[in-house]
Each structure stands twice: as C-alpha cells, then as structure tokens.
Structure 1
Amino acid sequence: MELLTGQSIYYSNKSHLPLEDVAESLLALKGLIEATPDILERLSPGLHIQKVNVYLNEVRAGSLWEDLIVKFIWGSQEKLSQDVDAWRNGLRVDSIISNRLIIGAIIGALIMGGGIYLLDKLKGPEEQKQTLQTNQNIFILAGANLTGITEEQFKSVIDGAISRKEQIPKDAVKLIRPAKREGSVSITLNRDEATTISSDAIRAMPNMVSNDEIPESIEDFQNIEIQIRAIDLDSTKRGWAAVIPSVDSRRTKMHLDPHIKATNLIGKTVIMGDVTVIFRYDQSGNRIPSLVFLRNVID
C-alpha cells in the first residue's frame, strides 16, 4: 500500500534556464527524495518503507518552479496502518508523512550538509562552510520540531546519511547549479519562506564536474569584449570558440544562449556581450576557463 505526498522547489532566477539545467536539477531532487526513506526509518525506528516513487507534476518556466508527486510504498495495508500509528504515537506528529514539511526539512538539510561534506573533502574555506552551516541549522531546527527529537539527533541522522551515500553531495550540487547562474537567487522549498536556501548559501556551495569531485567555479561577466575564434551556423553548442582577453588568453569552447541567432554573428570577430564562464582547476590550483556561455550580445 502507499502514502502520497509531494515536494516543490522554487528558484528565483530572472532569466530563462537551459533545458539541461532544469533536467539535471529535477533528477537531483528525485535522487534526494529517494534518500529520505532511510532517514525516516532512522528517525522512527520500526518504520519500514519498501520504496519511494517520484513523479513529475508540474514545471513552470521564468523563475523555475518544479513540483513533484512522491509516493511512499509499504508491503501491505496492515503494515502501513501499523507504521502510521507508530509514527503518530511515537513522534507526536499527525499525518506527518502526508504533508511536505518533514521531507522538505530533510532535503534542505541534505543539500546544505552535502555542500559542507564536499568543502571538507576539498579543504574549502571555513567561511563558506560556516555560511552553509548557518543555513542548514534552519532546516535542522524545522526537522527537529516536526519529528519531536532534539536538533542534535536530527543532525546526526542527516550527517550519517550523507557519509553513507556518496550520491547525496553530488545531487546537492546539481540541484543548486541553476541558481548559481545569477548573483542573488534563492531557493524555496514547498512555498515555505521559513525554509529557504539563501543566495549567500548558494554562492558558498561548491561545484564539481566529474565523479572525481574536481572543483569548478562559475562567474558572470557583463559588457566585456569577446573575440570569436570559431563558429558553426548549424549549432549553438558545437563548433563555437572564443577568447575573452579580460578573463583569459586561452581559446575556450563557447555555447550560445537559445535567444541568440547564430546568423547575426556572421562576419563578426569581436563583439561586446554578457557571458557566464565555467572555470576548472588544474592540479596546481590554477583557474582555467573550460566553457563560455554567451548570454547577450550588446550592439
């Protein structure tokens, strides 16, 4: 038998997002939701969730809104009734599984905790870790209040899940990535302003580009000179390359924003525009541009 709930997430981006960002964030949210049964069972010993299925309910463009349906599955109606009764009696929470708040608190704590885990592993700045910890404390407090346990107990369960499942930190980074495309974006879970991932926390989250957890960084540049070195009129992603002298002298692969018409760039070797640059780090710690996103062309 099953219990049905949902999860929604709102990104306050002002610009349209590439489709691959949206798809990646949806899969990351799905992955984090699929990590919750183990956490729920540890928060309530005796609870036995067989599996969880996640379905897409709605996606809205503009500022990105993702809404999912979450189905927790038990082996039988009798076992479901026993677990729900035990959950309500033991944790003093009525209908907690069928609302969004407890799952949202767990997901928010996992996202921030995943960022802290990666920063520890990469020996990242303490200031960034503290920023993430401050935001995670909001989700820990909410989760502890909802489940009737102490904040220390709730945090211990979250930290244990992150240490056991390497995919959680990776999904946390992927879920945050769309918000990093702009400077002051926040993320709100389940339309609850009390459980928001702040723009400071988003900036503090690490980035990675491979299974080896190689760090990367993303930076926006406005109204700068772009030297076009290669074009492909049949694609906005393949065959384009540029040099941005104020950023780096290296020729770098470039993608065009969907609203930019490739034909408008024919014959132009130097333009002014707005770009987002993804940087990778070599073994010596040097920052190297790996991809340029041309966001706008300034006439």
Structure 2
Amino acid sequence: MAEINLPLSISYQTEGSTSVGDVIEALKATDTIVKETVSLLPSFVDGLNIEQSTLNVQKLTQQSPLREVFLVTLVVTYQDDLQKEVPQLLEDILKVQVTDKYDSLVTVIFMIIIFYGANFAIEALKRAITDSKPKRVFKSMLTLLAKETGKSEADILAILEAKFSQPNAAKRLVQNAKKFFLPSQKDKNAPIHIDRDLIDSETVREIPYAGAQENNSDFDRYTPHEGVELELHAMDRDKSKTGWAAVVREVTDKRLKMKIVEPLSIKDFWGRDNVKADVVVVSKLTAAGYVPAEVQVRAILD
C-alpha cells in the first residue's frame, strides 16, 4: 500500500471577484469530476487498485484571477506479483510531468472527462455531431492519454461510454461539466488555466451555459458510423406523416426513424431497398440506459 499526492491547479482568468455561489458550484463540480477521474484510473493504469482518495484545497483565491489549487491524495495497492516493481512505477506514471503542460495523468483524465461532458452537451443542444473547439480539445487529450498509457483511443472511448451510459451518470457528467465553466462564462468567457494548459475564451464560449433548462433531449448521444449497410422499408416510404425508417444491423435489429441530411434528398433513396452510407445514430437516454432511436444519413457511398 502506498500514498501518492498529485497536484491539480485551476485558474480562471477573471477580471473581477467571483460570487461565492459560483465558486461553490465550480468547486462542487471539480470535486465530482475528480471522483470520476479517480474511479477511471484503474481502467487506464494496469495493476492499480485505489483503496481511498481525497481532494483537498491547498489554496483558494476569490479575487482576480479566481485560483484553485488542489491536492489529490490516493491510497493505492497493487497486484501481488508486482509488489517489488509497482510502487515506484505507479508513482512515476501518475506523478510524471505529462509534456510541459500537465503535472500528472490525473489532470489529463480530469480534462478528458470535462470535455467529454462538454462535447456531449454541445451535440445534444445542436442535435448533430459538430466540429467544435471543445471537441478538438477532447480529441487531443484522448490522443495524449493513449500515448501515455498504451491504451488505444478506441478503448479509452469505450471505457468512457460505458462509464457514463446510465441516466444518473450521464446527467451528472453533463451538469458538472457545465458548472465547471460557470465562473468563466459569467466573466466574459474568461480563459482558464488547468495546470499550465490554457483553455481560451472561444472554447469556453461554445460550451452550453449551466443555467439553461435541461430536458431529456439534452442528454442524447450522437455516434458516427462509416460505411454501414442500411435496410430501407417500403411500408415506411409511403407514410408521409411518419417518415422513413431504416435498420442499421451494426447497431440494432430494430427499425430507427431515418433523417436525411442535406445535400442528400429523398430522391436518392427511391427505388432502393439497401444503401451503404455514413450515418450518425442518435441514442435516447432511458431508465435502462441508452437506446438507439434515430439514424441520420449524411452520405451515400454506393
């Protein structure tokens, strides 16, 4: 068993003082996201078991800039056959300075969760997959974590999707990702330093505001699939009021509502029973988790 202390620094480059309420909301969001980070660490670091974790505030400055300095304390154990090697190895892996921007893998995973949730909120709001700045940050962090851990980006993404697949987890993720940015958004989308990485104002501006009313559709999940076969059903083609439907066998055997995305038009589908296409599957959050509900056809490949 070993105790490892990892720093985490967050600095909102605000121009004035931040209200106590907003500071509290951001702190609570950070606490929740750190807990999610810790729970995911064993999935990314083989052989690691976390027995206990705490997040302590080392420094809090409410005046400009709003600065929060934390210490994440982990009590870890490791597999019996690795007792001689792992204590120092784990400490090296977790505490190593990742590039020149981050103090540890905890910061990297922390940022991945924040921007996974932020991108989730953006795409649900726009009802489509987008190439937003927050999404680009997420992708760059995903690439970095894959490089540092040896896990593939696909495996890391699958771990995240499994972690946040249930209703409570998905809603908690989106709500806390939004609340984390609240002090910045209330001060002209002030830039944020996380360790030594700068999240610029344009990136913050694209993230939905935490005070907005949240509906079930705010938690829809959008998943791209390239080159999949679609089965079109004639009985749906003749129902102008209900629209078209299709089956995406790679995803589900159920018929899904089909949405045609411009520049495609209904003429591209007449007289065809099957098409090969690039699509986005929209899944709805239900009591049982995510269920595919709609397929958006973005390009026909044959």
TM-score range for the pair, normalised by the shorter chain length: 0.5 to 0.7
Whether the aligned pair in 2 keeps the contact of 1:208 and 1:214 (CA below 8 Å) is no
AA at the equivalent of 1:95: D
Structure 1 residues 155-210: Cα deviation after superposition (integer angstroms, max 9, x where no partner): 333343333523222111111111112335221211x23xx323222111112448
CA-based RMSD of the aligned residues comes to 3.2
In structure 1, the gaps of 5 or more residues are 217-299
Out of 113, 118, 121, the position equivalent to 1:115 is 118
**Alignment partner for residue 188 of structure 1, among 178, 193, 214?**
193
| Equivalent AA in structure 2 for residue 63 of structure 1 | P
Q: 1:17 & 1:143 partners in 2: Cα distance?
A: 32
1:215 offset after TM fit, Å? 10
Match of 2:92 among 95, 117, 142: 95
Aligned-partner Cα distance in 1 for 2:23–2:134 = 23
Q: Report if the CA contact (8 A) 2:95-2:104 is conserved.
A: no
| Partner SS state of residue 96, structure 1 | helix
Summarize the Cα distance change of 1:123–1:25 in structure 2 as closer, same or farther, 3 Å threshold. same
> Runs (4+) of structure 1 moved beyond 4 Å?
76-79, 123-127, 210-216
Q: By how many angstroms is 1:12 displaced?
A: 1.2
Secondary structure of the corresponding residue to residue 17 of structure 1: coil
Query: What is the CA–CA distance in structure 1 between the aligned matches of 2:175 and 2:85, rounded to whole Å?
Result: 32
- Matched-pair identity in %: 18
Q: Where in structure 2 are the equivalents of 1:29-178 lying within 5 Å? A: 29-60=30-61, 61-74=63-76, 82=83, 85=86, 88=89, 95-99=92-96, 100-124=103-127, 126-127=129-130, 130-164=132-166, 165-166=169-170, 167-178=172-183
Alignment-mate amino acid for residue 146 of structure 1: E
How many residue pairs are counted as aligned between the two chains? 207
Match of 1:19 in 2: 20
In 1, Cα distance between equivalents of 2:210 and 2:217: 5
Give the 3-state SS of the residue equivalent to 2:83 in structure 1: helix
Closer, same or farther in 2 for the Cα pair 1:59/1:155, shift >3 Å? same
2:110, 2:72 → 1: CA distance?
Answer: 13
1:85–1:20 CA distance, 2 compared to 1 (3 A)? same
Structure 2 unaligned blocks of 5 or more: 97-102, 219-302
- Whichever residue aligns with residue 110 of structure 1, its letter is I
Task: Give the partner amino acid of 1:157.
Answer: I
